[in-house]
Every structure is written in structure tokens, then in C-alpha cells.
Structure 1
Amino acid sequence: MFSAGEDSIMKKSARKIITFDWAIKTILRDKANFDVLEGFLTALFRQPITILELLESESNRRDDADKYNRVDLLAKIRGGIAKDDERVIVEVQYLPESAYLKRLAYGTAKTIVENLKLGESYDNVRKVYSVSLLYFDAVEGGDDYIYHGKTEFTGLHTHASVTLKKSLVGERVRIGETNIFPEYYLIPLKCFTDEIRDDLDQWLYAFKNNEVPDEFTAPGIVALKEKLDYLKMDEVERRRFDKHVDYARSEWGMIDHARREGREEGREEGREEGREEGRGEERARLVKSLHENGVPMEIIAVSVGLPEEAMRRLLDGE
């Protein structure tokens, strides 16, 4: 175990890499580069993971969505002794949103439904994993930097875990031998202290700091260092990437400023007109401030958790 923050030698010998969200949009969609994502998932699930193919997801398109707050990919995977392919959603998100957990639940449910063909037996329902790399504060009072959510059945009175009958669970072996219900991994990178304990920590260090020290040896990490090397990008791709980073920083700065401004004014309103109305005023001011600063409606919707129609009513003064 070592702390990257205290190792000045390691910092000098680190390779600068592009941000992981940009890699998901570009490099990692090439089958020749699946080994990068396989390395990360192998470290997370603690068993060898193979990506069979990438499937259609919300951001499997290269267009003006380069400026979007969130990017994800959907992959068909197989791990260890698992007999069946499963699904994993890997996403990177920079800004918080009020309906975040609801969107995660919707995303896994939608993936389950869309991967069961019309007329197929429920026996063909696929297990879905949702892995979120978060660049914002996601927990209160947490004592870790990786949070795992899954469905378990326990006694209502005893609180003891119960093993369901095999006739209900089925014969299929899944990653970790778990049940069919979706599982979620929330990884707020701000909570990671750069202290390296295992292979997974090496990956998280790279995602958080956009660099790979030469001392790192986790499976797949060399591929990450070579294929996401910033200096190996051609001039056109480097300009596109730099523009993407500048835009993301600008968006975050405007949204953070508008939130602070709206929160202060909302608190004043709350003292005079009641806490609930103050919160409504804060949200309205945030929407108007972001709109006046040229932030696209879809990003405002993500930031405040309101549909576009409701935001347009706020902007029209209704």
C-alpha cells in the first residue's frame, strides 16, 4: 500500500491521459480497445471480465452531445465461470441532479426490457450492473469511496438473510453468483484519497487524476496508459478534446455560481415567505440564471431535475 499523494517520484513518472468520459465517447467504442474497460471491470468485480460487444445506449452518438454533462456506454459482458452474458452500464457524470437515483433505476429497468425480445421467456432476462463514476459529492457522512447497492431478502422479524430456493433462482451462474436483480456501484471520486491498496485503486487514481504512474501494474492499466495517452493524439483530436474540457469546466462554473446565487436569494425569500416557497424561488432563479448564461436546456433540466416544459413555464413567468 502506498499513497500517491506522498510519492513525489511517482508523480514525476506519470503519463498524462485523456478524461474517461472522452474515452467512452471515442476510443473505447473500438473493439480493439475493449481491453481497457475489461481491465477496470475485472478490478471492480474481482474476476476476469470479457466484453462481448457494445450495445446501443443513450450516448452511443458523436454529435453536439460532446457538451453533455453525462456520458455512458452499455456493454454485453461475461465473467469468470458465468454461463450467460450480462449487461453493464458504465457512466461518467460531472454534475448532480435531483432525480439521479430515479434515473439510475429507470436506466437498469429500461435495459432489462429492451434486451428481452418480444415473445421471449422471462428465463432470458439479463442481469444488469450500473457503474457510476461521479465527480460530485454523492453521500453524506460516508466512510468509503465505493458504494455497492443490491437486492437481498431478509426476515422481517429476524433481519437475517435468506437463501431462495434454486427452483426460483434458476440454474444459471452469474458474476458473483448473485440473483437476477440489478446492482449498482456508486463511485464518488472526490472521496478517494489517492491511497493505493489494490488494483481497483490504481484505476480510480487514473480516473480522478487523469494520469497513470509508471509503477501501476493492474491488469489493463498499461493499455489505459497507452491508448488514452494525451500526447499521442493527433492535432485535430487534441483540439476537440481540449475544447470539450474547456466547455465542461465553463458549464460547471456557471452552474455552481448560479446555484450559490439562487441559494442565497432563496434563503432570503424563505425567511419571509416560508421555507417551501423559498426553495421554489431558488429553483426558478437557478433556471433563469443558467438560461441567461447560455446553458443548453437539456443541461439545465439535468441540473435542476425539471422537465423542459416546466422550465419554459418558469422562464415565461407562469
Structure 2
Amino acid sequence: MEQQDRYIRFDWAIKRLLRQKANFGVLEGLLTVLLGEEVKIIELLESESNQQTIDDKFNRVDIKAKNSKGEIIIVEIQNTRELYYLERILYGVAKAITEHISLGERYYEVKKIYSISILYFDIGKGDDYLYHGQNNFTGVHTGDRLEVTTKEKDALVHKLPAEVFPEYFLIRVNEFNKVAVTPLEEWIEYLKTGCIRPDTTAPGLEEARKKLIYYNMSTEERHAYDEHLNAIMIQNDVLDGAKLEGRIEGRMEGLEEGLEEGLRKGRIEIARNLKSMGMDIAAIQKATGLLPEEIQRL
């Protein structure tokens, strides 16, 4: 008999369970340890990416929330490789900004955006498991940071660009290979392994131990969850094979061409599997990037 303390993967929890106000504390805990300040979620915001079914959104899971400061937080989980991921998260941030300012409103109403990407694929070179980027304007000759002065409510207010421009966090889950000591490390350990230590005091994880137990789900929910895990395993296995094939072809015909061909074959194989599972053409196109006519021929 399996142990009772089997926990639901975070990508599934964020899609199904953490959208409930009673469970906001779990997500608030992750954001608190990541941003280094207490975060309170006021409400979840809807967008075209907040889909509920596997057909609508196969590869990634998004949540868009507003915190107590009125700032917007986007959390996105990506299970498999996407060639233009950086461009897509930039687009997602830009879209969030424009979604939350109405025509005719002052630029003062532009919301600060935090973009948090939890990645289960190799996005590139780098030794760390957490990367953070934000906009700063630094003097080319002096090295000082620009501070902008604005007038708000008849008072002069000094702002750093980082207080206005978006911030990006890339969590490379698979690169975490250490004993978890800090609350942030405990969170990354959970994201990677699904394990939560019994004596955890990390914000959000103690609540997750109570609310994300696998056996608390109904039989139907457990079945859907298990199918979700199987689909991810299929994708990863196929892509791993594609990478190997690409490396082999690369040695024979040129590395770049071989990798590209290997990845394409991998996408075709994924599309074939998803089609056999009954997924519609539009959803398969989102997951693989193939053209509809290519998918129909499979």
C-alpha cells in the first residue's frame, strides 16, 4: 500500500486546487520565499491562458494573480522544451500590462508585473537553478543607477525603474541538486521531487502538506492526475530520444542541422501520440508547433 503522504505535483495543483481562495496560502508561500517579502493574493485574474482542460492547454499551466499592492504576478509552468520561450514570456508580460490598463487611463495606472517561470526542461547554459532579471538603468561612465522623479498627489516621488519595469524569475527545477536547507530550497525540492519534509516551516509548504495529498482527491480526480503524469512522461521520453537522435545526426551531418531534425521528429512523434489520445488539432498545434495539415496527415 502506498504511503499516505504522496503529494500532488505543483503543476497539477496550480491548475486545479490552488485557484480556490481557501488554498491561496500555498502559492503565497512560494511567492514569499521567492520575492523575499510577504505576499498576499487578493484575487486570481482570468486571461486566455488560464485554461482548465488538457485540450485547451497541454504544455503549460498559468496562474495570474493580483497581490495586496495591486501588482500582477504571472506563474507559469513549462514541462517540455519550447524554442522561443523567452520571446513568449516577454509577450505574456506585455499582454498582462495592456490587459490591465484601459484606453484613456494615465500611464500611472500601469501595473508592476512579476513573471515566474518554473521550468522542467533545459533552457540553456548556466549553473544556477534560479535566475532573476529586471530593468535597471546604469550610467555608462559613472556606474550610478538612474532614479526618476515624478509628481504624484502634489508630492515629488523618487522611483527606480525596477519599481515599474517587470521582473522575471526563471526556476530551472532540474538543475537543483543539493540538500535543501533554506525555505526556497525546500520549495525547489518539492517542485522537483514532490516531497515535503514533515517538519517543514517554509511558508506555504506546511499548508501544502495538508491540502495537496494525493489520496484526498476523488477517484476521478486521481485518474485524471495519473493520466496527466503519463502524458508528461510520454513527451519527455520522446524528446529525450529526439535529442539523442539529433546528436547522432549532428556528428554525421553537422550538429545544428541534426539537432533541429531530431527535435522536429520528436514533435511529430508527440503529435502522433496526442492524436491517438483523441486530442483535437488546435491543442496539438499548441503543444508541438506543427501545422494543422501536418497533424492531419499523421
Smaller-chain TM-score bracket: 0.7 to 0.9
In the alignment, residue 77 of structure 1 is paired with which amino acid? N
Unpaired stretches in structure 2, ≥5 consecutive residues: none
Q: 2:31 matched to which residue of 1?
A: 41
Unpaired stretches in structure 1, ≥5 consecutive residues: 1-12, 79-83
SS at match of 2:77: strand
Q: From 224, 228, 246, give the equivalent of 1:244.
A: 228
Q: 1:299 to 1:95 in 2, by over 3 A?
A: farther
Q: How far, CA to CA, are the matches of 1:172 and 1:166 in structure 2? A: 5
Q: 2:165 matched to which residue of 1?
A: 181
SS at match of 2:76: strand
SS at match of 1:52: strand
Q: Deviations over 1:148-179 (max 9, x none)?
A: 01111112234x131323228984989xx942
Q: How far, CA to CA, are the matches of 1:108 and 1:216 in structure 2? A: 33
Q: 1:201 to 1:279 in 2, by over 3 A?
A: closer
Q: 1:20 matched to which residue of 2?
A: 10
SS at match of 1:138: coil
Q: 1:213 to 1:312 in 2, by over 3 A?
A: same
Matching of residue 98 in structure 1 with residue 88 in structure 2: no
The structure whose RCO (Cα within 8 Å, separation 6+) is larger is 1
| Identity over aligned pairs, percent | 40
Taking only aligned residues, the RMSD between alpha carbons, in angstroms, comes to 3.0
Decide which moves more: 121-130 or 188-197. Answer: 188-197
Q: 2:47 matched to which residue of 1?
A: 57
Q: 1:137 matched to which residue of 2?
A: 122
Matching of residue 212 in structure 1 with residue 199 in structure 2: no
Q: 1:293 to 1:219 in 2, by over 3 A?
A: closer
Q: How far, CA to CA, are the matches of 2:265 and 2:191 in structure 1? A: 34
SS at match of 2:75: strand
Q: How far, CA to CA, are the matches of 1:238 and 1:164 in structure 2? A: 52
2:241–2:266: 8 Å Cα contact kept in structure 1?
no
2:7–2:212: 8 Å Cα contact kept in structure 1?
yes
Query: TM-score under structure 2 normalisation?
Result: 0.84
Query: TM-score under structure 1 normalisation?
Result: 0.79
SS at match of 1:28: coil
Query: What is the CA-CA distance between 1:207 and the residue it aligns to?
Result: 1.4
| Alignment coverage as a number of residue pairs | 287
Q: 1:134 to 1:279 in 2, by over 3 A?
A: closer
1:258–1:290: 8 Å Cα contact kept in structure 2?
no
Q: From 165, 170, 180, give the equivalent of 2:148.
A: 165
